[in-house]
């Protein structure tokens, strides 16, 4: 039987401390893992660095009008909150929990192991 544990990593105290690109996304590294951050309607999302289809760098894409991240290679769209592929190709985007509180902005990374 395996168990999952979430480790929370503080990435900033406020959203203004994050180096957002003009498309409201950026790439951060946590535990040698690249993660894409996006901000849409004042909410921060965290998800995979690359598209699950053809490995396009998602931070080089854009966010559409309803809040989907759009891959720059083939324009596949993903819901930033749950990873669902909204353009219908059947892929799933890995996403990460984000918590914002008075102490800052935190990303939750799941670790799996027999006793973790």
Range of the domain at 15: 3-113
In whole angstroms, give the CA distance from residue 17 to residue 94.
24
What is the structure's pLDDT at 2? 56
In tens digits, the chain (116 residues) has pLDDT values of: 556 799 999 999 999 999 999 999 999 999 899 999 999 999 999 999 999 999 999 999 999 999 999 999 999 999 999 999 999 999 999 999 999 999 999 999 998 766 54
Total domains present in the chain:
1
- Among residues 83, 5, 92, the alpha carbon closest in space to that of 46 is found at 83
Q: What is the pLDDT of residue 114?
A: 61
CATH of the domain at 84: 2.102.10.10
DSSP string, 63-108: E-TTSEEE-TTT--EEETTT-BBTTSS--B--EEEEEEETTEEEEE
pLDDT, residue 115, reads 57
């Amino acid at each position: 039987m395996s168990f999952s544990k979430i480790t929370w990593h503080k990435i900033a105290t406020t959203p203004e401390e994050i180096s957002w690109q003009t498309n409201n996304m950026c790439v951060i590294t946590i535990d040698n893992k690249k993660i894409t951050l996006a901000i849409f309607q004042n909410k921060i999302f965290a998800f995979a660095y690359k598209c699950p289809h053809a490995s396009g760098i998602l931070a080089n894409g854009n966010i559409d009008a309803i809040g989907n991240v759009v891959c720059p290679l083939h324009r596949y769209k993903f819901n930033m909150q749950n990873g669902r592929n909204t353009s219908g190709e059947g892929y799933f985007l890995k996403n990460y929990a984000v918590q914002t509180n008075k102490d800052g902005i935190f990303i939750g990374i799941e670790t799996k192991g027999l006793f973790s």
